[in-house]
Amino acid sequence: MDWQRSNGMEAPKRPLMMSGAAQMIRPILTLRKKRILIDVDTQKDFFLADGKACVRNHRRVLANIRRVMAWTRRDQVRIISTVQCHNPNGHDGDVCLSGTPGICKIPYTLRNRRFTFDYGDTTDFSRNIFQENDQLILCKRTIDPFEEPRAERILTEAKASEFVIIGGSTETSVLYTVLGLLTRGKSVTVLIDAVGSCEKSVADIAFRKMKAKGARLIESKSLFGNSSLRQVNACQCDRCRGKLRKATLSA
Protein backbone atom coordinates (compact mmCIF):
# COMPACT_ATOMS: atom_id res chain seq x y z
CA MET A 1 0.00 0.00 0.00
CA ASP A 2 1.33 3.45 -0.83
CA TRP A 3 0.88 4.71 2.73
CA GLN A 4 2.76 1.87 4.39
CA ARG A 5 6.08 3.15 5.60
CA SER A 6 8.31 2.80 8.63
CA ASN A 7 11.14 4.90 9.99
CA GLY A 8 14.45 4.04 11.63
CA MET A 9 15.01 4.63 15.29
CA GLU A 10 16.50 7.96 16.27
CA ALA A 11 19.79 8.00 18.14
CA PRO A 12 19.25 8.64 21.87
CA LYS A 13 20.13 12.13 23.04
CA ARG A 14 22.25 12.82 26.08
CA PRO A 15 20.35 14.48 28.93
CA LEU A 16 21.19 18.14 29.51
CA MET A 17 21.96 19.66 32.90
CA MET A 18 19.32 22.29 33.71
CA SER A 19 19.94 25.60 35.38
CA GLY A 20 17.86 26.73 38.34
CA ALA A 21 15.62 28.81 36.05
CA ALA A 22 15.08 25.86 33.72
CA GLN A 23 14.15 23.65 36.69
CA MET A 24 11.53 26.20 37.72
CA ILE A 25 10.04 26.23 34.22
CA ARG A 26 9.96 22.46 33.79
CA PRO A 27 6.80 21.76 35.88
CA ILE A 28 4.87 24.26 33.74
CA LEU A 29 5.98 22.51 30.55
CA THR A 30 5.01 19.08 31.82
CA LEU A 31 1.53 20.33 32.70
CA ARG A 32 0.78 21.44 29.14
CA LYS A 33 -2.31 19.78 27.72
CA LYS A 34 -1.41 16.73 25.64
CA ARG A 35 -3.74 15.67 22.87
CA ILE A 36 -3.78 12.74 20.47
CA LEU A 37 -5.74 12.93 17.22
CA ILE A 38 -7.68 9.77 16.34
CA ASP A 39 -8.08 9.74 12.55
CA VAL A 40 -10.81 7.21 11.70
CA ASP A 41 -10.81 5.54 8.28
CA THR A 42 -9.98 8.59 6.12
CA GLN A 43 -9.64 6.41 3.03
CA LYS A 44 -10.40 7.06 -0.63
CA ASP A 45 -13.39 4.70 -0.77
CA PHE A 46 -15.09 6.71 2.00
CA PHE A 47 -14.07 10.29 1.30
CA LEU A 48 -13.55 10.78 -2.45
CA ALA A 49 -16.50 11.29 -4.78
CA ASP A 50 -15.59 8.27 -6.90
CA GLY A 51 -15.14 6.06 -3.83
CA LYS A 52 -17.34 3.02 -3.39
CA ALA A 53 -18.98 4.32 -0.19
CA CYS A 54 -18.39 8.07 -0.17
CA VAL A 55 -19.90 10.00 2.74
CA ARG A 56 -22.65 12.43 1.79
CA ASN A 57 -20.93 15.59 3.09
CA HIS A 58 -17.45 14.82 1.80
CA ARG A 59 -16.56 18.30 0.44
CA ARG A 60 -17.11 20.15 3.73
CA VAL A 61 -15.65 17.34 5.84
CA LEU A 62 -12.48 17.01 3.73
CA ALA A 63 -11.85 20.74 3.93
CA ASN A 64 -12.06 20.59 7.72
CA ILE A 65 -9.93 17.44 7.87
CA ARG A 66 -7.22 19.30 5.93
CA ARG A 67 -7.39 22.09 8.52
CA VAL A 68 -7.14 19.60 11.39
CA MET A 69 -4.09 17.98 9.81
CA ALA A 70 -2.45 21.38 9.39
CA TRP A 71 -3.11 22.01 13.10
CA THR A 72 -1.45 18.71 14.10
CA ARG A 73 1.67 19.66 12.16
CA ARG A 74 1.79 23.16 13.62
CA ASP A 75 1.27 22.02 17.22
CA GLN A 76 3.12 18.69 16.88
CA VAL A 77 0.07 16.64 17.84
CA ARG A 78 0.56 12.90 17.50
CA ILE A 79 -1.92 10.90 15.37
CA ILE A 80 -3.36 7.40 15.64
CA SER A 81 -5.09 6.46 12.37
CA THR A 82 -7.30 3.46 11.70
CA VAL A 83 -7.88 1.99 8.24
CA GLN A 84 -10.26 -0.71 7.11
CA CYS A 85 -8.58 -3.54 5.18
CA HIS A 86 -10.77 -6.23 3.65
CA ASN A 87 -9.95 -9.41 1.78
CA PRO A 88 -11.26 -9.44 -1.83
CA ASN A 89 -12.45 -13.02 -1.23
CA GLY A 90 -14.14 -12.19 2.06
CA HIS A 91 -17.72 -11.25 2.93
CA ASP A 92 -17.27 -7.55 3.71
CA GLY A 93 -18.53 -6.17 0.41
CA ASP A 94 -16.34 -4.39 -2.11
CA VAL A 95 -15.17 -1.45 0.05
CA CYS A 96 -11.51 -0.91 1.02
CA LEU A 97 -10.32 -4.12 -0.60
CA SER A 98 -6.63 -4.97 -0.37
CA GLY A 99 -4.84 -4.10 -3.59
CA THR A 100 -7.37 -1.46 -4.72
CA PRO A 101 -6.92 2.35 -4.75
CA GLY A 102 -9.90 2.76 -2.43
CA ILE A 103 -8.04 1.29 0.53
CA CYS A 104 -5.42 4.08 0.48
CA LYS A 105 -5.58 7.02 2.86
CA ILE A 106 -6.22 10.56 1.64
CA PRO A 107 -2.67 11.90 0.98
CA TYR A 108 -2.89 14.94 3.28
CA THR A 109 -3.85 12.71 6.24
CA LEU A 110 -0.35 11.21 6.23
CA ARG A 111 2.61 12.44 8.27
CA ASN A 112 6.18 11.90 7.11
CA ARG A 113 7.25 10.01 10.24
CA ARG A 114 4.73 7.17 10.39
CA PHE A 115 4.53 3.47 11.06
CA THR A 116 1.88 1.02 9.87
CA PHE A 117 0.72 -1.99 11.89
CA ASP A 118 -0.96 -4.68 9.83
CA TYR A 119 -3.95 -6.45 11.34
CA GLY A 120 -3.36 -9.69 13.19
CA ASP A 121 -3.77 -11.39 16.54
CA THR A 122 -0.52 -10.21 18.12
CA THR A 123 -0.28 -7.29 20.55
CA ASP A 124 3.44 -6.46 20.47
CA PHE A 125 4.85 -3.01 19.69
CA SER A 126 7.82 -0.93 20.74
CA ARG A 127 7.33 1.10 23.91
CA ASN A 128 9.03 4.03 22.15
CA ILE A 129 6.86 3.85 19.06
CA PHE A 130 5.38 7.34 19.60
CA GLN A 131 8.79 8.87 20.25
CA GLU A 132 9.98 7.51 16.92
CA ASN A 133 6.91 8.44 14.85
CA ASP A 134 4.34 11.20 14.53
CA GLN A 135 1.62 8.86 13.26
CA LEU A 136 0.63 5.25 13.84
CA ILE A 137 -1.62 3.58 11.26
CA LEU A 138 -3.61 0.63 12.60
CA CYS A 139 -5.16 -1.76 10.08
CA LYS A 140 -8.40 -3.41 11.11
CA ARG A 141 -10.75 -5.97 9.64
CA THR A 142 -13.95 -4.57 11.17
CA ILE A 143 -15.48 -1.17 11.89
CA ASP A 144 -14.56 -1.54 15.58
CA PRO A 145 -10.82 -0.99 16.17
CA PHE A 146 -11.09 -2.56 19.61
CA GLU A 147 -11.71 -5.96 17.99
CA GLU A 148 -8.10 -5.91 16.71
CA PRO A 149 -5.78 -7.04 19.55
CA ARG A 150 -2.86 -4.72 18.78
CA ALA A 151 -5.08 -1.73 17.97
CA GLU A 152 -7.01 -2.32 21.18
CA ARG A 153 -3.82 -2.35 23.22
CA ILE A 154 -2.38 0.79 21.60
CA LEU A 155 -5.62 2.78 21.98
CA THR A 156 -6.05 1.58 25.56
CA GLU A 157 -2.49 2.27 26.69
CA ALA A 158 -2.06 5.61 24.87
CA LYS A 159 -1.78 8.42 27.44
CA ALA A 160 -3.34 11.80 26.67
CA SER A 161 -5.46 14.38 28.41
CA GLU A 162 -7.77 14.45 25.39
CA PHE A 163 -8.46 12.27 22.34
CA VAL A 164 -9.73 14.31 19.37
CA ILE A 165 -11.79 12.39 16.78
CA ILE A 166 -12.14 12.99 13.03
CA GLY A 167 -12.98 10.72 10.07
CA GLY A 168 -15.95 8.54 9.28
CA SER A 169 -18.41 7.32 9.15
CA THR A 170 -20.24 8.76 12.13
CA GLU A 171 -22.79 5.95 12.30
CA THR A 172 -20.27 3.10 12.31
CA SER A 173 -16.51 3.39 12.80
CA VAL A 174 -16.55 6.76 14.56
CA LEU A 175 -19.30 5.65 16.94
CA TYR A 176 -17.49 2.42 17.88
CA THR A 177 -14.17 4.24 18.32
CA VAL A 178 -15.66 6.95 20.53
CA LEU A 179 -17.65 4.56 22.71
CA GLY A 180 -14.65 2.25 23.06
CA LEU A 181 -12.42 5.10 24.24
CA LEU A 182 -15.06 6.37 26.67
CA THR A 183 -15.51 2.87 28.11
CA ARG A 184 -11.77 2.87 28.83
CA GLY A 185 -11.98 6.12 30.76
CA LYS A 186 -10.58 8.42 28.05
CA SER A 187 -11.54 12.06 27.59
CA VAL A 188 -12.98 12.31 24.06
CA THR A 189 -13.75 15.31 21.85
CA VAL A 190 -15.49 14.80 18.49
CA LEU A 191 -15.03 17.47 15.81
CA ILE A 192 -18.51 17.26 14.32
CA ASP A 193 -17.63 19.20 11.17
CA ALA A 194 -14.66 16.89 10.47
CA VAL A 195 -16.55 13.57 10.59
CA GLY A 196 -18.49 12.26 7.61
CA SER A 197 -21.80 10.42 7.58
CA CYS A 198 -23.92 8.49 5.11
CA GLU A 199 -27.35 9.07 6.64
CA LYS A 200 -28.01 12.31 8.53
CA SER A 201 -30.78 10.95 10.77
CA VAL A 202 -28.71 7.93 11.81
CA ALA A 203 -25.67 10.15 12.35
CA ASP A 204 -27.69 12.45 14.62
CA ILE A 205 -28.63 9.45 16.78
CA ALA A 206 -24.96 8.40 16.90
CA PHE A 207 -23.94 11.91 18.04
CA ARG A 208 -26.55 11.78 20.81
CA LYS A 209 -25.19 8.42 21.99
CA MET A 210 -21.65 9.81 22.11
CA LYS A 211 -22.75 12.87 24.06
CA ALA A 212 -24.82 10.81 26.48
CA LYS A 213 -21.77 8.66 27.27
CA GLY A 214 -19.61 11.70 27.96
CA ALA A 215 -18.03 12.81 24.67
CA ARG A 216 -17.61 16.53 23.97
CA LEU A 217 -19.02 17.59 20.58
CA ILE A 218 -17.53 20.76 19.06
CA GLU A 219 -16.67 22.30 15.69
CA SER A 220 -13.05 22.34 14.59
CA LYS A 221 -12.69 26.13 14.83
CA SER A 222 -13.42 25.90 18.56
CA LEU A 223 -10.24 23.86 18.92
CA PHE A 224 -7.74 25.84 16.84
CA GLY A 225 -9.56 28.89 15.44
CA ASN A 226 -10.33 29.85 11.85
CA SER A 227 -8.15 28.76 8.95
CA SER A 228 -7.34 30.31 5.59
CA LEU A 229 -7.20 26.95 3.79
CA ARG A 230 -9.57 26.90 0.82
CA GLN A 231 -12.53 24.53 0.71
CA VAL A 232 -12.05 23.53 -2.94
CA ASN A 233 -9.60 20.94 -4.29
CA ALA A 234 -10.34 18.60 -1.38
CA CYS A 235 -10.75 15.87 -3.99
CA GLN A 236 -10.92 15.90 -7.80
CA CYS A 237 -14.71 15.92 -8.25
CA ASP A 238 -16.39 18.98 -9.79
CA ARG A 239 -17.94 20.01 -6.49
CA CYS A 240 -14.62 20.00 -4.61
CA ARG A 241 -12.84 21.85 -7.43
CA GLY A 242 -15.53 24.53 -7.50
CA LYS A 243 -16.64 23.74 -11.04
CA LEU A 244 -20.17 22.79 -10.03
CA ARG A 245 -20.76 26.15 -8.37
CA LYS A 246 -19.33 28.03 -11.38
CA ALA A 247 -21.56 26.10 -13.75
CA THR A 248 -24.62 26.90 -11.60
CA LEU A 249 -23.80 30.63 -11.51
CA SER A 250 -23.30 30.80 -15.27
CA ALA A 251 -26.55 28.98 -16.08
Per-residue H/E/C for the chain: CCCCCCCCCCCCCCCCCCCHHHHHHHHHHHCCCCEEEEEECCEHHHHCCCCCCCCCCHHHHHHHHHHHHHHHHHHCCEEEEEEECECCCCCCCCCCECCCHHHCECHHHCCCCEEEECCCCCCCCCCCHHHHCCEEEEEECCCCHHHCHHHHHHHHHCCCCEEEEEEECHHHHHHHHHHHHHHCCCCEEEEEEEEECCCHHHHHHHHHHHHHHCCEEECHHHHHCCCCCCCCCCCCCCCCCCHHHHHHHHC
What's the pLDDT score for residue 25? 38
What's the pLDDT score for residue 189? 98
What's the pLDDT score for residue 57? 87
Q: How many residues does the chain have?
A: 251
Residue 142's contacts (CB-CB under 8 Å, 6 or more residues apart) are 84, 148
What's the pLDDT score for residue 133? 94
Q: Which residues of 208-227 are buried (b: 16+ CB within 10 A; e: fewer)?
A: eebeeeebebeebeebbeee
Mean pLDDT per 10-residue run, the chain (251 residues)?
44 42 38 82 95 91 94 95 89 84 95 93 84 94 95 93 97 98 98 96 97 97 75 68 51 37
pTM over the 0.75 mark: yes
What's the pLDDT score for residue 29? 34
What's the pLDDT score for residue 251? 37
What's the pLDDT score for residue 40? 98
The C-alpha atoms of residue 133 and residue 127 are separated, in whole angstroms, by 12
Contact 115, 137 (CB under 8 A): yes
The C-alpha atoms of residue 62 and residue 54 are separated, in whole angstroms, by 11
What's the pLDDT score for residue 4? 45
Structural domains in the chain plus CATH codes:
33-250 (3.40.50.850)
The C-alpha atoms of residue 54 and residue 66 are separated, in whole angstroms, by 17
> What is the dihedral sign for C-alpha 133, 215, 106, 171?
positive
User: How many alpha carbons lie under 13 Å from residue 205 in its C-beta half-sphere?
Assistant: 6
What's the pLDDT score for residue 27? 37
Burial class (CB in 10 A: 0-12, 13-18, 19+), 236: exposed
